[in-house]
Amino acid sequence: MKLESTSEHVNQNLLNIQYAVRGPIVTRAAQIEKELEEVQALVACPQLLSSPDIPDDVKARARELLADCTKGSVGAYSPSQGLLVVRRRAAQYLSTRDGVPAYPEQIYLGSGASDLIKAVLSLFGGDVDGKPPAVMIPIPQYPVFSGTLSELGIQQAHYYLDEAQGWALMADELERSWTEASKGSAVRALVVINPGNPTGQVLTRENMEEIIKFAHRRRLFLLADEVYQENIVSKPFLSFKKVMHEMGAPYPSMELASFITASKGWAAECGARAGLVEIPRLTETARRAFEATRAVAQCPNLLGQCALDCVMKPPAPGEPSYEQFARELATVRRTLCERTATAHKKLNSIPTFSCNPIDASMFAFPRFSVPSRAAAAARAHGMTPDEFYCLRLLEETGVCVVPGSGFGQAEGTLHFRTTILHPREEFNYMMEQIANFHVKFLKEYEDERSEG
């Protein structure tokens, strides 16, 4: 008897997961914000509360957080939904942001946004009237969506962002995708990523209104991945919740889940695994189901919840930590502005490359092309042309980018995603390496063709 076989019939859903960006990709870009570090240190080790080196506002916040912890310790479980003090602070943040009331009981903390995206998507697993469920996701998209849908056994209905229109989300493309998917499946929800990842665009208000009307007309639950809301270069951020409310009835009563994380924005505390979802409206049954799956996960880690608290209410003017925070925030914002502009300019100067203006996020997602001989060489290696290209780039220059096929891309196009928040010299060096490599790569495969 071969005992290896006890796991032989493995869940096919897991094998269908594609997840391009885990592994060597360094998404960590901004410097850790010091006030947040200190709050984490204090709540982890409260005897530091007597240290003269810790500012008073940091101590006050740590005391407030500890007061909401069971037995005053981050070593205890919290409610599955998260500490009330943090959810209150998040409600305040959301109310101020949108000018629309937000409530702690409609906010759930999680181990990063990914954890909560999975929990919300899991609501839609299960056939409806004999039809398998489907969820609409953009192409390109961030693979947490495709990966999680695969894992849950939910079909993906793709809609394509329009690269020629600065990655706009066109209403007729939504309609096309819905119509096609509805033939064989029950389309349940629409995922919108705004600001875009990997594409870095920010939707216009008009575009958001079209999307909301479409979701309303087709009775779709709207998942708004808004995790890059603090990474926008030039315009103010508009949430889907705010736009729905400003559109007036019937839109404010639509079902919506909006995600925020401590891993992005100025904090960029990826390692804290802390995020939240606001779900203003949900049927009673769906809320019961959602809370059941949250309970099985016990609770999000407590120090992550404390980190999120700092993100929801950064130091205010007049507080001892404010000056340092403001200085660091300004640096992060200035870096983001510089890099998005430079990346856009430099990438567009490389032969065959085109890159839309980058409004937000911390990525560039340029399009490029390669000679047909290079595509053939990729096939001979059992790779897609962009995989082959990115692997060669890595091997020859040490520059690590993620092939566009990991995010999805229109048939016949090639892209890669690169982070852009490196220190300036490193960034410039990387851009130069990409440009030089590309010219050499073109020459290599064009020469081969002329020899052939």
CB 421 within 8 A of CB 349: no
Q: x/- site string to a second copy, residues 27 to 66, per CB under 8 A? A: xx---x-x--xx-xxx-xxx-x--x-x-------------
- Contact flags string 76-115 toward a second copy, x per CB under 8 A: xxxxx------------------------------xx-xx
Residue with smaller CB distance to a second copy, 92 or 293: 293
Span interacting with a second copy, options 124-132, 191-199, 341-349, 376-384, rule CB under 8 A = 124-132
Q: How far apart are CA 153 and CA 140, in angstroms?
A: 20
Given the complex with a second copy, which of 285 and 450 has the nearer CB atom? 285
Eight-state DSSP code of residue 166: T
For a second copy, give the closer residue by CB, 110 or 371.
110
From the list 376, 344, 348, the residue with the least C-alpha distance to 449 is 376
Instruction: Convert residues 131-160 into a mask of x (bound to a second copy by CB under 8 A) and - (unbound).
Output: ------------xx--xx--x---------
Which stretches within 224-349 are classed as H helix?
240-247, 284-296, 302-312, 322-348
Min CB(447)–a second copy separation in Å: 38
What is the smallest separation between the CB atom of 210 and a second copy, expressed in angstroms? 17
Q: Which stretch binds a second copy (CB under 8 A): 276-284, 346-354, 379-387, 441-449?
A: 276-284
Taking CA atoms, 406 is separated from 20, 26, 143, 332, 421, in Å, by 5, 16, 7, 28, 21
Task: For the segment 190-219, give every residue that binds a second copy (CB under 8 A).
Answer: 216, 219
For a second copy, how many residues bind (rule: CB under 8 A)? 100
Distance (Å, whole) CA 364 – CA 356: 9
Q: Considering the complex, what minimum distance in angstroms separates the CB of residue 400 from a second copy?
A: 13
Distances (CA, A) of 316 to 57, 313, 322, 324, 325: 10, 8, 6, 11, 9
φ, ψ dihedrals at 276, nearest 5°: -145, 160
| Site track for a second copy across 283-312, x = CB under 8 A | x-xx-xxx-xx-xxxxxxxxxx--------
Selection from 156, 221, 171, 229 nearest residue 196 by Cα? 229
Q: Does 321 bind a second copy (CB under 8 A)?
A: no
User: Quick check: 231 and 195 in contact, CB under 8 A?
Assistant: yes
Residues 6 or more apart from 376 whose CB is under 8 A from it? none
* For a second copy, the closer CB: 13 or 354: 13
Q: Is residue 450 at the binding interface for a second copy, with CB under 8 A as the rule?
A: no
Q: Residues 176, 271, 334, 348: which binds a second copy (CB under 8 A)?
A: 271
| CB nearer a second copy, residue 164 or residue 296 | 296
| Minimum gap (Å) between residue 15 Cβ and a second copy | 5
DSSP 168: B
Applying CB under 8 A, among 98, 269, 309, 386 the residue interacting with a second copy is 269
Q: Among all chains, which residue has been given the structure tokens 């997602």?
A: 365
217-256 mask for a second copy (x: CB under 8 A)? --xxx----------------------------x--xxx-
Q: Is 6 in the site for a second copy (CB under 8 A)?
A: yes
CA-CA distance, 230 to 360, in Å (whole number)?
A: 9
Residues 430-449 that bind a second copy (CB under 8 A): none
Q: For residue 70, which of 305, 314, 310 has the smallest C-alpha distance? A: 305
Query: Is 69 in contact with 76 (CB distance < 8 Å)?
Result: yes
Contact predicate 279/241, CB 8 Å:
no
Q: Considering the rule CB under 8 A, would residue 369 count as an interface residue with a second copy?
A: no
Q: Judged by CB under 8 A, which stretch of 13-21, 334-342, 413-421, 440-448 contacts a second copy?
A: 13-21
Six-digit token string for 269: 């505390």
124 is a contact residue toward a second copy (CB under 8 A): yes
Q: Least distance from C-beta 291 to a second copy, angstroms?
A: 9
C-alpha to C-alpha distance for 100 and 92, rounded to whole angstroms: 10
Closest CB 24 distance from a second copy, rounded Å = 9
Residue 58 contacts residue 321 (beta carbons within 8 Å): yes
